[in-house]
């Protein structure tokens, strides 16, 4: 027995020794700094194709990309932070920036920005603003996202319009004209009840700050949000929009193609989807338009979305991490990124490139991106938006009167923000700790 066991150890030890030698051999050969990068969804899949250039310029740095599905990204980032295993650089949805700044998980960019080959002016103003929390910049916009109107040119033409009028009143008239044209079973606009963006955008256009007092109090029952909300509800009351959720419509592209609705407030990913999913002979029948506003084009704002590049506080390679962020922000790299993903680039210079400028459907996006505003920068915002969607749906379906829906929403949100009021009273809001 004993002899047998001894004999068993020898090969194992030899193997372990061999492994050790092999490992140390690797370590000796590869002295490069390893940067860990987390990318989400489609961006995570393609970002490694952009990194060849970076690694050629920085032979001493190796970038390891980890792909994370969007549905798990938030939880994964939070648990990584709690478990002290955050990456060096990550893509971060810009509505999440306030949360990770409040956690003190991400690094303010501070002095690094001063020597950067770009500044706030190199990006769309509203998008840049999403990265500024309490006066400090925490991220650099990577790609941008906003909501605007996709519409059927042919249906609008039949109703006597060649584009979407820039004021609310003109827009409403156009929707009524379309509705008269298409009849009772079809609609002018699609506002899915499981999306919170349209009511929030209309409220913001009407001048509502959504939250007040440093994001510690809800402002949903004040007159400005009410104005946007009434406009939104009227679209359902006048049967210009069908009171349905996205789930109740089996194939939204097919319905758009059939003319079930003529307008849809949605985002840039649908540029690609429309090209892919609508029949070839309908490709000239659709167009994009910036959001109308209550007082004309200038008030036709939309929300600033997209993803930023951030570096984490725990990173031991911040110098290299910043180099990577700088590299990914170069106009030519951004353009390549756009070609790979269809994501709209954050750098304004990129939009002057012929490929982007030549596409008429992009013009509306460029115009809209100059008029975007961030949502209130509080960690609770996503949760607030979901509560809003819930109450808005009840108001549209008529189970709760609009006044009570807004009052209840405000109550609920105020309760959610209690901790912020306490932090504010103790002067500890927005990283005011040293």
Partner 1 sequence: MSRTSERVQQRAAWGFLAPALILIGSFFFVPILAGLVMSFTDFDIYSIGRPDTIRFVGLSNYHQVLTSSEFWHAMRNTGFFVGVGGPLSVLTSLVAALLVNSKLARWKSFFRTVYFTPVVTTMVAVAIVWRYLLHTRYGLINAGLGALHLPAVDWLGDPHWAMPAIILLSVWKNFGYNMLIFIAGLQAIPEELYEAAELDGAGSVARFRHVTLPSLAPTFLFVGVMTMIGQFQIFAEPYVMTQGGPLRSTVTVVLLMYEQGFRWWRMGLATSMAFVLFAVTLVATAIQLRLQGGRR
Q: Three-state DSSP class for 158?
A: helix
* Cα–Cα distance measured from residue 128 to residue 346, given in angstroms and rounded to the nearest whole number: 9
Q: Which of 1, 2, 27, 250 binds partner 1 (CB under 8 A)?
A: 250
Q: How far is CA 86 from CA 76, 311, 319, 324, in A?
A: 9, 9, 16, 16
Q: Which of 53, 103, 260, 349 binds partner 1 (CB under 8 A)?
A: 103
* Cα–Cα distance measured from residue 86 to residue 36, given in angstroms and rounded to the nearest whole number: 9
Stretch that binds partner 1, among 95-103, 183-191, 303-311, 335-343 (CB under 8 A): 95-103
Q: Which of 63, 68, 102, 240 binds partner 1 (CB under 8 A)?
A: 102
In the complex, what is the shortest distance from the CB of residue 134 to partner 1, in angstroms, rounded to a whole number? 14
Q: Looking at beta carbons only, is 275 or 415 nearer to partner 1?
A: 415
Using alpha carbons, select from 156, 98, 99, 157 the residue that is nearest to residue 131: 98
> Starting at the edge strand that comes first in sequence, how are the strands of the sheet with 261-266 ordered?
187-190, 261-266, 148-152, 286-289
Residue 42-81 contact track with partner 1, rule CB under 8 A, x = bound? --------------------------------xx--x--x
In the complex, what is the shortest distance from the CB of residue 97 to partner 1, in angstroms, rounded to a whole number? 13
- Check binding of 362 to partner 1 (CB under 8 A): no
- Check binding of 425 to partner 1 (CB under 8 A): no
Enumerate the H helices of 278-401 as residue ranges. Answer: 318-328, 331-341, 354-357, 360-369, 381-397
Q: Looking at beta carbons only, is 63 or 191 nearer to partner 1?
A: 191
- Check binding of 244 to partner 1 (CB under 8 A): no
In the complex, what is the shortest distance from the CB of residue 104 to partner 1, in angstroms, rounded to a whole number? 4
* Cα–Cα distance measured from residue 344 to residue 143, given in angstroms and rounded to the nearest whole number: 5
- Written as one string, the DSSP assignment of 69-81 is -HHHHHHHHHHHH
- Check binding of 421 to partner 1 (CB under 8 A): no
Stretch that binds partner 1, among 114-122, 163-171, 244-252, 349-357 (CB under 8 A): 244-252
Residue 159-198 contact track with partner 1, rule CB under 8 A, x = bound? -----------------------------------x----
Q: Looking at beta carbons only, is 339 or 419 nearer to partner 1?
A: 419
In the complex, what is the shortest distance from the CB of residue 79 to partner 1, in angstroms, rounded to a whole number? 8
In the complex, what is the shortest distance from the CB of residue 379 to partner 1, in angstroms, rounded to a whole number? 5
110 with 137: CB under 8 angstroms? yes
* Cα–Cα distance measured from residue 117 to residue 24, given in angstroms and rounded to the nearest whole number: 39
* Cα–Cα distance measured from residue 313 to residue 87, given in angstroms and rounded to the nearest whole number: 10
In the complex, what is the shortest distance from the CB of residue 91 to partner 1, in angstroms, rounded to a whole number? 19
- Written as one string, the DSSP assignment of 9-20 is HHHHHHHHHHHH
- Check binding of 415 to partner 1 (CB under 8 A): yes
In the complex, what is the shortest distance from the CB of residue 265 to partner 1, in angstroms, rounded to a whole number? 21
In the complex, what is the shortest distance from the CB of residue 255 to partner 1, in angstroms, rounded to a whole number? 15
* Cα–Cα distance measured from residue 278 to residue 361, given in angstroms and rounded to the nearest whole number: 15
- Check binding of 422 to partner 1 (CB under 8 A): yes
Cβ neighbors of 347 (< 8 A, separation 6 or more) are 118, 122, 123, 329, 330, 331, 334
Residue 375-414 contact track with partner 1, rule CB under 8 A, x = bound? ----xx--x------x--x---------------------
- Check binding of 223 to partner 1 (CB under 8 A): no
- Check binding of 423 to partner 1 (CB under 8 A): yes
Q: Which of 40, 51, 65, 105 binds partner 1 (CB under 8 A)?
A: 105
- Check binding of 339 to partner 1 (CB under 8 A): no
Return the CA Rg of the chain.
Answer: 25
Strand runs (DSSP E) across 52-178, as ranges? 61-68, 89-93, 132-133, 136-137, 140-145, 148-152
In the chain, the N- to C-terminal Cα span, in Å, equals 65
In the complex, what is the shortest distance from the CB of residue 399 to partner 1, in angstroms, rounded to a whole number? 12
Q: Which residues bind partner 1 (CB under 8 A)?
A: 74-75, 78, 81-82, 99, 102-105, 194, 245, 247-248, 250, 379-380, 383, 390, 393, 415, 419, 422-423, 428, 433
């Amino acid at each position: 027995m004993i002899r047998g066991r001894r004999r068993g150890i020898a090969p194992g030890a030899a193997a372990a020794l061999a492994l050790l030698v092999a490992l140390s051999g690797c370590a000796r050969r590869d002295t490069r700094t390893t940067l860990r990068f987390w990318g989400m969804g489609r961006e995570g899949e393609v970002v490694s194709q952009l990194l060849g250039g970076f690694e050629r310029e920085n032979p001493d740095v190796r970038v390891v990309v980890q792909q994370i599905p969007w549905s798990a990204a938030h939880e994964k980032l939070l648990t990584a932070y709690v478990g002290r295993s955050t990456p060096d650089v990550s893509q971060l949805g810009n509505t999440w920036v306030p949360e990770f700044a409040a956690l003190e998980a991400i690094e303010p960019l501070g002095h690094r920005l001063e020597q950067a080959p770009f500044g706030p002016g190199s990006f769309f103003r509203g998008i840049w603003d999403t990265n500024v929390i309490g006066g400090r910049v925490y991220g650099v916009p990577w790609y941008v996202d906003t909501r605007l109107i996709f519409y059927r040119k042919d249906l609008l033409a039949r109703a006597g319009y060649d584009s979407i009028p820039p004021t609310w009143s003109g827009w409403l008239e156009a929707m009524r004209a379309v509705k008269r044209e298409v009849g009772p079973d079809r609609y002018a606009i699609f506002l899915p009840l499981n999306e919170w963006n349209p009511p929030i955008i209309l409220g913001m256009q009407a001048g509502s700050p959504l939250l007040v007092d440093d994001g510690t109090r809800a402002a949903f029952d004040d007159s400005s949000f009410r104005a946007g909300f009434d406009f939104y509800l009227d679209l359902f009351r006048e049967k210009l929009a069908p009171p349905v959720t996205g789930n109740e419509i089996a194939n939204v592209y097919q319905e758009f193609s059939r003319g079930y609705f003529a307008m849809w407030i949605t985002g840039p990913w649908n540029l690609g989807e429309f090209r892919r999913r609508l029949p070839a002979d309908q490709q000239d029948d659709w167009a994009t338009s910036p959001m109308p506003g209550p007082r004309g084009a200038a008030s036709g704002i939309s929300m600033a979305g997209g993803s930023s590049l951030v570096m984490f506080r725990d990173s031991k390679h911040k110098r290299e991490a910043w180099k990577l962020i700088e590299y990914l922000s170069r106009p030519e790299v951004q353009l390549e990124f756009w070609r790979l993903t269809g994501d709209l680039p954050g750098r304004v210079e990129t939009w002057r490139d012929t490929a982007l400028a030549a596409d008429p459907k992009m013009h509306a996006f460029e115009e809209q991106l100059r008029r975007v505003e961030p949502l209130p920068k509080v960690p609770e915002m996503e949760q607030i938006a979901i509560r809003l969607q819930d109450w808005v749906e009840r108001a549209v379906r008529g189970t709760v009167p609009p006044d009570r829906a807004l009052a209840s929403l405000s109550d609920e949100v105020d309760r959610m923000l209690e901790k912020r009021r306490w932090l504010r009273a103790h002067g500890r809001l927005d990283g005011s700790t040293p």
